[in-house]
Amino acid sequence: MIKKKKGAIVNIGSGSTVVLPSYPLVTLYAATKAYLAMFSRCISLKYQHQGIDIQCQVLCCLSSSLSVWWRLWDIA
C-alpha cells in the first residue's frame, strides 16, 4: 500500500465502547474494541499523507453468538 500510495484498512469496532454501559463479564470485549478504535485513529493520522485510509466502523445493533450469550445470562 505504501509503494502504491493508496489503500484502505477497515477495522470492525463495537457500539459497546460508546453507546452501551459496561456489563459484567464483557469488560474485556469492550476494552479491546475501544483500543481498536483508538489505534485506528492514531494509525490513520500516521498514514493519511501516504494515501492510505484507515477506518474503524462501529456497529451498534448486530445479531451474533455474543448477543445470544447476553440473552442467556439476561444481561442485555
12 bridge partner residues: 57
- Which residue is catalytic, options 23, 29, 35, 47? 29
Known catalytic residue at 23: no
- Beta-carbon contacts of residue 26 (< 8 Å; ≥ 6 apart): 16, 70, 75
Catalytic positions are 29
